[in-house]
Structure 1
Amino acid sequence: MNHFKGKQSKLTMLLIIIVFLFTIFTYLNSKVIYVSNTGKNHYPGTNNKPIKSINKAINMALPGTTIKIKPGIYKEAVHINKNGFPFLPIKVTGMYGKTKLIGNIDRSEKIINIRNSNYINISGLNLSNLKATNSEQTPTAINIDGHSKSIIIKNNIIHDIETDYKEGNSHGISAYGKGISNIQIVKNKLYNLKLGNSEALVLNGNINNFKVSNNQIFDNNNIGIDIIGYEGIESNDKLDKARNGTISNNRVQNNTSKHNPSYNGDQSAAGIYIDGGENIVISDNISANNDIGIEIASEHKNKNAVNILVKKNIIKNNGYTGIAIGGYNQTMGGVKKIRLLNNRLIHNDQQQQFGGEILLQYNINDLIITKNAISPNKNGYLLIKDNKSGKNINIKHNNYNLKGSNKIIWNKKEEYLR
């Protein structure tokens, strides 16, 4: 008697039963709940009899539920504290551009707040009109916090989220992690945001494994995308950083702090900023007409942004500099293991403030700049290193267009490439 064949057939039968039960479970839980601002909360939530409250729909949702919010204007602060399952997320969807969630700062600082939730998808919503009435408030369109994982924010429009206070803060999309993992933020539009001291899209704290891709972030008065570490969001210092992620195929443009009351006219808004993040690939983005194209640093003493690869980006027409590397003064943190590869830098330092196409600042350790195409402005600089700090800096095999300018500053001394 062949015991192996008997065991194999039992295992096959068990797998068939598991797949069958999973299919039934998926079918039973793949419910659609409809929401309309003309609905009634005692309705069952069908297409013909939708409920009125988004929060009621969320409370009703099980793993696999899709909540379809019909076109209209909704003035509800949405709170999500729910769990889907792998392959059975809870989906909150609208009709792109026509399902509008309007903020009310007296009700909540967040239009959508996702807390301690897993397997949640948010898509097709237009979120806007949330304005701070004092400097302590932080208006935010979509916020993720607590212990959350597998969150997808996709195909949303976010605009007119505002603070006008000098000490104020505001965000379009934010994640403040005490144990957040597997976030995807893709194909969103964020524009006309008044951000105070903050950023349009920010990941801060204990966040592991993220994807920020194919977003359009433009016409905001501070940083476009910011990946942050070491701000005390997570008590464990080794985990207090956003890490292991990609920033790709985004278009980030016209972000400047020039008229931001928090900056007194200083123009220092980066399109993409890594502030103490770790193990990040920045690729195939367009960063144009910002104050700074891409910046990599740490604002915290003795801390570093580590293992950052910047490749195949187009960085052009930024006001101060194309790429800035290192802490902006000696007392700040720095960078370690940074690679700039196959980027195109075109006519940055538009304001001729001695930022150049590439600006090397303080506390740099292990930097390679190679195979980049660099085309400076007339009277501009290819590269500026206006200090004598830094070690293990290797610059090789770049393609310089010297028709604009052949000037560099190295260790505070002006030189010329021939």
Structure 2
Amino acid sequence: MSTPPKMRMAALAVMMASTFFAAAPASAAVTVAVSPSQVSLPANGTQQFAATVSGSSDQTVTWLVNGVPGGAPSLGTISSSGLYTAPAGASSSFTATVTAQADAAPLATSAASVAVAASTFVGPVYYVATSGNDSANGSAAAPWRTIQHAMNSVPAGATVQVAGGTYNELVTITQSGSASAGYITLTSAPGQTATLDGSGLGVPQGQQGLITLQNASYVRVIGLQLQNYTSNSSSLVPLGIYVVGSGDHIEVRNNHIHNIVTTVTTSQGDAFGLAVYGNATTPISNLIIDGNELDHLTLAYSESLSVNGNVQNWQVTNNRVHDNNNIGIVAIGFEGTAPNASLDQARNGWIAGNTVYNISSTTNPAYNYQPGADGIYVDGGTHITIEQNNVQAADLGIELASEHFGHDTSFITARNNLVLYSNVTGISIGGYSSSVGGTDHCTIVNNTLFENDTTLSGSGEFQVQNHASNNLFANNILYANGQGLLVNSPISSSTAPVTLQNDLFYTSDSGASAYWVWNNISYTSLGSFQQASQSESNGLLADPLFSSTTTPDLHLSAGSPGIGSGADLGLAIEGAYDYAGSPRTDGGGLIDRGAYQQ
């Protein structure tokens, strides 16, 4: 088992290469062709695609699935060489779009259509009920009594249906399914909710989940309630669900995890709602965490939902994370979780469609009741896409940084998100001090930030701190409260930590209080900020004309200066869909600023 993490500090306190973010249209001579153009695949099937770039000596392309670089487990993943692998367990057939984007000309793309068949494997079903007996045969007429006995007994491909009721036990899953036999599935019986309740149970291995998946593959945990697991010791860490070791094709879906608690109030206390620790040389991969609710967690120095260490090809999607006293969702690297330092980094991930709110350490004695909890945080992760999330009333909405000196969070794209009413700042990059790591080659595009820094801390809508380099901030809408601070870059540096491009600024007092901080100097006009930062040549200080600022409804109304005025940065950067799932372009290449496309 892994050791408890250290305190995860929140952030309180050069012009990029044109090929990375250029908005210039691709030359008409540069085209891409993908072959084959249309295929059908079974579950877990593979297809090698090829891309030919014409009009350029640079033949390299970026491969995407439904606009996500590298794809994701539920969409299918694709390698840098174009090998697409279909999902192993899709519940229904669907069509994926595989796209190649020319690195030499980001607006030059070509796509192929992939019809993916649903998984058709149907294995045996076994039953657990509070009235059952572990000496029975596990049939519907003679169910078992404990979930642990069931998970020890069933073969690959089996489903364990747990009848509604309360089960006061810890469950450790070490059995695996397989690609040929199918998943082992643990689920509540149809129309019922099975509850694992940790009341009175200890933490026998130092760090234990109500459900622990250890070195397990092809396993699903679906539709359970996990609650009331408490530790009173700094050496004992309770979790709702714990995925640890190695393993592939793991799905954690539609569970409700709440009231997981540490009562330790010092720097040694830890608890988690759901944690994934890749602590082996073989990664945890093809991991889906989808549709879960995690709330009312008392976490001390740990997180609601954490992906840490040697974890690759994963997604955290459509979850509801709220009313917890530390970080909502985090992807972590460089903590020594994996035995090989080169693998110790959550990577190739997709954080999308999550709703995160009321995440604050102002109720956490381990933080001295100070605001320092992120809604969504990447601490040392790499190659992760963060999109279509709604983050409200966190201490920091989205943070991309690293807590380990000499290491960076890198190659993250945060796009098409809504970030509202954060206590400290909307989006933050760079390390919280000069003694930690930073942020490199990260892209923040087409987000809408609305009235963040509710505590008037002076951090503003977008904050830039230590060790930030080669980052892009473009096509965003920043609508500040009456304090007026839009961009806050207080660290003096001879090189630009971020390039700002095509953003739309406004404040709740009709723009009167607007100001920007660059190299620790304040500027009260957009023109002076543009000159100082040598960026934002197409920036605007104007009313975005939101549909409503009281509800709020952050769609753009007719006549908004944000409509059609965004820079087209290419599919890999801006994504295929806006916050609401509408196409990101209008069909004519026009991009709106902010999270919504009209």
Matched, 1:53 2:146: yes
Cα distance in 2 between the residues matched to 1:280 and 1:416: 35
Q: How far 1:310 sits from its partner (Å)?
A: 0.4
Matched, 1:106 2:106: no
Q: Could you say what secondary structure the match of 1:222 adopts?
A: coil
The unaligned stretches of length 5 or more in structure 2 are 1-119, 527-598
Cα distance in 2 between the residues matched to 1:391 and 1:281: 23
Give the counterpart letter for 1:373 in structure 2.
I
Q: How far 1:393 sits from its partner (Å)?
A: 2.0
Q: How far 1:345 sits from its partner (Å)?
A: 0.2
Q: Could you say what secondary structure the match of 1:401 adopts?
A: strand
Where relative contact order (Cα < 8 A, 6+ residues apart) is larger, the structure is 2
Q: Report the equivalent of 2:158.
A: 65
Task: Say if 1:105 and 1:132, in contact at 8 Å, map to a contact too.
Answer: no
Matched, 1:133 2:236: no
Give the counterpart letter for 2:333 in structure 1.
G
Q: Report the equivalent of 1:145.
A: 244
Task: Check 1:380–1:401 CA distance in 2 against 1; reply closer, same or farther (3 A cut).
Answer: closer
Q: Report the equivalent of 1:169.
A: 270
Q: Report the equivalent of 2:185.
A: 91
Counterpart pick for 1:44 among 137, 152, 167: 137
Cα distance in 2 between the residues matched to 1:97 and 1:397: 51
Give the counterpart letter for 2:255 in structure 1.
N
Q: How far 1:248 sits from its partner (Å)?
A: 0.2
Q: Could you say what secondary structure the match of 1:82 adopts?
A: coil
TM normalised by structure 2 equals 0.64
Cα deviation, 1:1-44, whole Å, max 9, x if unaligned, reads xxxxxxxxxxxxxxxxxxxxxxxxx97x7110100011011211
Q: Could you say what secondary structure the match of 2:149 adopts?
A: helix
Cα deviation, 1:235-279, whole Å, max 9, x if unaligned, reads 221110100000000000001001211100210100000000000
Cα distance in 2 between the residues matched to 1:47 and 1:36: 9
Q: How far 1:408 sits from its partner (Å)?
A: 0.9
Task: Say if 1:105 and 1:139, in contact at 8 Å, map to a contact too.
Answer: no
Cα distance in 1 between the residues matched to 2:425 and 2:203: 41
Within a 5 Å distance, the mapping from 1:13-412 to structure 2 comes to: 30-86=123-179, 88-95=182-189, 98-103=193-198, 104-106=200-202, 108=204, 109-165=208-264, 166=266, 167-177=268-278, 178=280, 179-389=283-493, 391=496, 393-402=498-507, 403-404=510-511, 405-412=513-520
Cα distance in 2 between the residues matched to 1:238 and 1:342: 32
Q: Could you say what secondary structure the match of 2:370 adopts?
A: coil
Cα deviation, 1:134-167, whole Å, max 9, x if unaligned, reads 1111110100111111110000000000012122
Cα distance in 2 between the residues matched to 1:107 and 1:310: 37
Q: Could you say what secondary structure the match of 1:262 adopts?
A: helix
- Structure with the bigger percentage of strand: 1
Q: How far 1:416 sits from its partner (Å)?
A: 1.8
TM normalised by structure 1 equals 0.91
Task: Check 1:351–1:412 CA distance in 2 against 1; reply closer, same or farther (3 A cut).
Answer: same
Task: Say if 1:223 and 1:271, in contact at 8 Å, map to a contact too.
Answer: yes
Q: How far 1:62 sits from its partner (Å)?
A: 1.2
Task: Say if 1:352 and 1:380, in contact at 8 Å, map to a contact too.
Answer: no
Cα distance in 2 between the residues matched to 1:232 and 1:309: 25
Cα distance in 2 between the residues matched to 1:207 and 1:90: 21
Q: Report the equivalent of 1:22.
A: none
Q: How far 1:392 sits from its partner (Å)?
A: 5.3
Cα distance in 1 between the residues matched to 2:289 and 2:481: 34
Give the counterpart letter for 1:63 in structure 2.
A
Task: Check 1:261–1:97 CA distance in 2 against 1; reply closer, same or farther (3 A cut).
Answer: farther
Q: How far 1:107 sits from its partner (Å)?
A: 5.5
Task: Say if 2:203 and 2:237, in contact at 8 Å, map to a contact too.
Answer: no
Q: Could you say what secondary structure the match of 1:52 adopts?
A: coil
Task: Say if 2:124 and 2:157, in contact at 8 Å, map to a contact too.
Answer: yes
Task: Say if 2:228 and 2:260, in contact at 8 Å, map to a contact too.
Answer: yes
Cα distance in 1 between the residues matched to 2:203 and 2:451: 46
Q: How far 1:98 sits from its partner (Å)?
A: 2.2
Task: Say if 1:105 and 1:133, in contact at 8 Å, map to a contact too.
Answer: no
Cα distance in 2 between the residues matched to 1:392 and 1:173: 34
Between 193-202 and 379-388, report the one with greater CA deviation.
379-388
Q: How far 1:355 sits from its partner (Å)?
A: 1.1
Between 89-98 and 65-74, report the one with greater CA deviation.
89-98
Cα deviation, 1:218-246, whole Å, max 9, x if unaligned, reads 00000000100000011221110100000
Q: Report the equivalent of 1:18.
A: none
The unaligned stretches of length 5 or more in structure 1 are 1-25
Cα distance in 1 between the residues matched to 2:498 and 2:308: 28
Q: Could you say what secondary structure the match of 2:226 adopts?
A: strand
Give the counterpart letter for 1:102 in structure 2.
D
Q: How far 1:92 sits from its partner (Å)?
A: 0.2
Give the counterpart letter for 2:525 in structure 1.
L
Q: Report the equivalent of 1:14.
A: none
Q: Give the root-mean-square deviation of aligned CA atoms.
A: 1.4
Cα distance in 2 between the residues matched to 1:195 and 1:97: 29
Task: Say if 2:464 and 2:497, in contact at 8 Å, map to a contact too.
Answer: no
Q: Could you say what secondary structure the match of 2:150 adopts?
A: helix
Cα distance in 2 between the residues matched to 1:263 and 1:374: 29
Instruction: Give the number of equivalent residue pairs.
Output: 392
Task: Say if 2:467 and 2:497, in contact at 8 Å, map to a contact too.
Answer: no
Q: How far 1:356 sits from its partner (Å)?
A: 0.3
Between 96-105 and 351-360, report the one with greater CA deviation.
96-105
Q: Could you say what secondary structure the match of 1:198 adopts?
A: coil
